[in-house]
């Protein structure tokens, strides 16, 4: 297993919808492990294959309340609650920038595990936010697109300033 390079905003892979995984094999398991290993190097809680430039619908979440990382292949949100919550969000592809984003407080996600078996998970709070954030990324919607135009422009300007100063978190 290995650590892969993370693409930085505004890389085209972050704005391209990922393709569904059709083959559940050792290459998929290796990709999932590489995603996890890569995420650990940047102290993240979630990462998608597009974050490393791979256009497949694969997500790894390693939330503080989980004993082990969870792998989601071909995830889709099949239900969202009407009530909203606001949470700080950022991205491994835009290190050093965080903004508040409004998302559904609860979601139901259909996905496949690494063996291709269909699963359904209901999530609320922080886990629901993470699912929505990562599935957006799989759909080619980078998190700053969920901000107002003003906040988005400010977030991008902050990131560009961090890059110019060489202080964007790695």
Q: Please give the full DSSP string across 122-169, using - where no structure is assigned.
A: EEEHHHHHHHHHHHHHHTT--GGGGS-HHHHHHHHHHHHHHHHHT-S-
- Which of helix, strand or coil describes residue 66? coil
Q: What residues pair up with 71 in beta bridges, in sequence order?
A: 60
Contacts of residue 113, defined as CB under 8 A and 6 or more positions apart, other chains included, come to 71, 73, 119
Token pair 């290459």 is found at 27
- Residue of 88, 135, 142, 87 whose CA lies nearest to 107: 135
Does the annotation mark 170 as catalytic? no
Q: Pick the catalytic residue: 26, 134, 145, 170?
A: 134
Beta strands in 32-151 (DSSP E): 46-48, 58-61, 70-80, 84-89, 99-104, 106-112, 118-124
- Residues that are catalytic: 134
């Amino acid at each position: 297993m290995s650590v892969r390079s993370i693409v930085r905003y505004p890389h085209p892979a972050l704005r391209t919808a990922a393709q569904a995984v059709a083959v559940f094999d050792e290459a998929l398991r290796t990709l999932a492990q590489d995603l996890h290993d890569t995420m650990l190097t940047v102290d993240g809680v979630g990462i998608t294959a597009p974050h490393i430039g791979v256009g497949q619908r694969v997500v790894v979440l390693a939330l503080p309340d989980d004993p082990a990382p969870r792998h989601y292949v071909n995830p889709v949100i099949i239900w969202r609650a009407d009530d909203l919550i606001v949470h700080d969000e950022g991205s491994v592809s835009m290190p050093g920038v965080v903004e508040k984003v409004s998302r559904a407080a609860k979601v139901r996600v259909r996905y496949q595990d690494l063996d291709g078996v269909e699963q359904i998970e209901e999530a609320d709070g922080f886990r629901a936010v993470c699912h929505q954030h990562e599935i957006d990324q799989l759909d080619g919607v980078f998190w700053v697109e969920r901000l107002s135009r003003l906040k988005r422009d400010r977030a991008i300007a902050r990131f560009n300033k961090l890059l110019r100063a060489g202080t964007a978190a790695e």
